Amino acid sequence: MNKKRRFHAVVIIVVAVLAILLNAAVAHLIYSAMELDAQRITDHVITPDQRTITENVIVGLILAVALQSVGFVLVFTRFIFEDEK
């Protein structure tokens, strides 16, 4: 494997690991906020329409994951199938 290919492999691995860690952190944050919402609703501190995690947040997260996936595919395919000139 030449230096350029090795560099591409390292970049792909680093970006993939960062993406996994960041997505796990966001998932934990959302899970914690949903638990807090459920507890507050159960304790009658807030009403269901005052939740932190609303439908708009869920739609935003789905859209962000879709855009992130497309971005990763574009970046990875560019690195993997780069023209050897």
Note the pLDDT tens digit of each residue in 9-67. 888 888 888 888 888 888 888 888 889 888 888 888 888 788 888 888 888 888 888 88
Q: Is residue 8 part of a domain?
A: yes
Q: How far apart are CA 52 and CA 38, in angstroms?
A: 10
Q: Which domain holds residue 19?
A: 3-80
Question: Looking at the 3D structure of the chain, how many domains does it have?
Answer: 1
pTM metric for this prediction: 0.67
Angle between helices 3-42 and 55-80 (to 10 degrees): 170
Q: Is residue 72 part of a domain?
A: yes
